[in-house]
Structure 1
Amino acid sequence: MKRSRFTETQVVKILKQHEAGIPIKELCKEHGISAATFYNWKGKYGGMDASQLKKLKEMESELSRYKQMYAELAHQNYALKDLIEKKPLGPADKRSSADYLVSEHRLSLRVACFLLCLSSSVYYYKPKGKDDSAIIEALDRLAQEHPTYGFRKMFRMLRHQGHLWNHKRVYRVYKQMRLNVRRKRKRRIPQRVKEPLTLPIDRNIVWSMDFMQDSLSYGKTFRVLNVMDDFNREALWNVIDVSIGSRRLIRELDRLVAFRGRPEAIRVDNGPEFTSANFQIWCKENHIKIKYIQPGKPVQNSLIERFNRSYRQEVLNAHLFDSLSQVRILSDQWREHYNEKRPHEALQNLTPKDFLNNYGKASFSISKNELNCTNPTVAN
C-alpha cells in the first residue's frame, strides 16, 4: 500500500488551520494536495485532537494484532482439521480422543465430535453380531446335496426356496464356511539352495524377517511383520496393519535402515512380499543379499520362528484386542521388555542389549561352547 507523505499529526494540524479560517484552496496549494485528499482527511480525522489521534492509532495497532492472531489460529485450526480428515486416526481412536476432550477440557460431545470430524452416529455406533444360523443351515444342506454347486447356483436355489437374504450377506457366510473351493495354480519358485544357519559375528550382518497373522475381537484380521538381528536376537521392528504389501514393506525397511544401519543379508521365506520384484530391486539397489529358505522348511529360518512363538504366546494369545492401536502399543512395550530386560538362554542368559554391548565388535572371537549355542538353529 502506498504510504502518505503526511503523518497523522501533520494532517490534524492542517485541519486545525482550516478551522482557524484559512480557505481550503490555500491549504491545498500550500501543502501540494488535492481537494479530494483534504475532504478525505476531514472525514477521517475531523474534530480530533492529539490525544484522540493517539488513542485511534493504539486501537488500530491492537486491531491489527488481533487480526494477525485470528489468522494464525484459523490457519492452525484448518491445518489440524485437514490432517484429521485425511484419516490418520481410525473411528476407535477418534472415539477415545472425543472422550478425552469431554473429560479433560470440558467440551460438549457435539463440539468434540465436530473438531475431530467425527459424526455422532459413528461415535455411538457399536458393531452388532448377526445371527446367521439360518443361512448356515441352508447352505450346509445345499452343499451336502449338491457338492459341486458354486455360490451363484446356491444363491439362486435359496431365492427359489423363498429366502430373501441379501447376496452379500449370503456370500460372506459362504466364504466363512469355506465352501468356495478355489483351484490354485502352483506358484513356481526357483530352486533354493539350503544354507547353514550360522551365527553372525556382529550386528547388521544378517537380519531375519517373517509375517504373522491374528484377528481382533470382532473378527477383523491383521498382519504383523517381525524383523530381528540374528547376532543378538534383538527385535528390530514390528509392523502391524490390516495389509502389508511389498511397497509398504520397502517403506518400513527404509525407515529401519535409516536409524539402524544396512544389513549385509536378509533371511526370508518364499512369501509373495519377499519374492516380489519391488523387494528384490530394493535389495539390489542397497547391496543386500537375500537368503531364501527352501519351501516348506521353516527350520532353516528358526531364529525368527522362535521369536514368533514368544511374540504369539506373550502378546497375541495373551490379550484380546479391540483395535490396531492397542496391538501396536502392547507390541512396542513388549519389544522394549524383550530387548532390554528378558534374558535369553542362547545369549548366556543376557538380554539382547547387554549381549550387544559385551560382544558387539566385528573383531571379537568367541567359541560355540562359550555362547552355549552348539546348535545354532535353537534360539530363545
Structure 2
Amino acid sequence: MARGKKHSPEQVVNLLRQIEVSIANGKTTSLACKEAGITDQTYYRWRKEYGGLQVDQARRLKELEQENAKLKRIVANLSLEKLVLKDIAGGKFLSPERRRCAVNHARQVHGLSERHACLVVQQPRGTQRYRPTQREDEDALTQAIVTLAGQYGRYGYRRITALLRHAGWHVGKDRVERIWRREGLKVPQQQKPRGRLWLNDGSCVRLRPEHVNHVWSYDFVSARTYDGRTVRMLNLIDEHSRESLLVRPERRWSSAKVIEVLADVMVIKGVPQHIRSDNGPEFVARDLRKWLANTGAKTLYIEPGSPWENGYCESFNSKLRDEFLNGEIFYSMKEIRILAERWRIHYNTIRPHSSLSYRPPAPESWQGGTETGYGEVESKVRFPLPHTLDGGYLITKEAALH
C-alpha cells in the first residue's frame, strides 16, 4: 500500500468485502489484510466505521460527514462574527474611517483575516487598504475652521465654508464637512420643514417681493436687560434683498416712534411700494396708516394668528435671537443699541445667507460677477477682508500658511 494514499468510501467498502471473503475461505486476518494492501489497524478502524454498509450507504455517510463539518464551520464563524460585532460597537459604522478601525481591531484581537474582517464589517477591501493623503494646508485649514466655529457658534459648516471662501480659501463644503465632523464640532439642529409661505389655507395669496423696495416687512422682538426690564426691538427688512434696514431697541413703542424711525429709513433707502406687518396696536394705529398712505406705501396686514405670512421677518427674528440675543447679557440701553447695530451691519455685509447662494445681503463691494465652480457668483472686485463680531479678522489662507 502506498503511504498516504486516500480511499473513497466505495473503495473502503469493497476492500472490507474482499477481506471478509478471504477470511471466510480460511485465511487469517493478517494475511487477508496484507493481500488487500492495508494494515490490521486500518482494517479494524474501517470495519468499525463502515461495517455492514452498502456502497451507496457509505457514499451518503461520507457526504453527511462533510456537510456536518461544513455546518460546524459556519456556526463557528457566525458565533465569532457575532462576538466581533458585539465587541467592536453597538451601532452602525457610518464612515469608512470607523470601519477601517473596526477591521484593524477584529484582526488584532480576534485573529480574523483581512478578508473575513472586511466581510463582517461590510468594508470594501480597496477602501480598507486606501491611505488618505495629507494636504499641505490641512492643519492651517483645520485651525481656521475651529476658530470660525468658536466665533460663530450657531453657524453650520456651509456658512463656515462661505466665510472661508471670502477669506481666500479655495475649499468645497464636502472637505469642510469632513474636517468639521472629524474635529467633533457641533452641527446646529435643523428646524422642522414648513409649508409654503405665500398661502394661508387657500384664503389669500401672499404678495411675493419682485425687486428692492417692493415689499418691506417689520415686527417686534422682545428681550431683557440684566435688571429684568423689557426691551422691544423693531426689526425692518427688505424682503427681496433680505437686507436688514433697521434694528432699533426701545423700552416702549408708540405709533409716533414707529413713524419717526420709518421716516429715517425712507430718507436713505426710499419709499417702498408695500410694507407688511402683523396686527399689533402700533402697526394698525390710525396715525401710522394715514402717514403711510401719504408717503405712497401700501399696508399689507397678515391674517390674525398667521405669523407664517410674515415669514421673511419671522426668519430674521429667529436668526437675531439665536445668533445675538441668546448669547449676550445687556446692562444698559446704550450697550444693547450699539451691539444690535454692530450685529445688523455684520448681518448685511459679512454673514452668508443661504437663500442668496451664501452671499451677504449687502456686501461692502460688488460690481457684478461670474459663475464659479461652486455654483455661486464670484465678485469681479474682491470682497473686503471679512471681519468678526469682536472686531478681529478672519484667518486668510495666505496668513495661515505663512
**Same fold by TM-score, threshold 0.5 exceeded?**
no
Tell which structure's C-alpha radius of gyration is larger: 2
TM-score, normalised relative to structure 2: 0.40
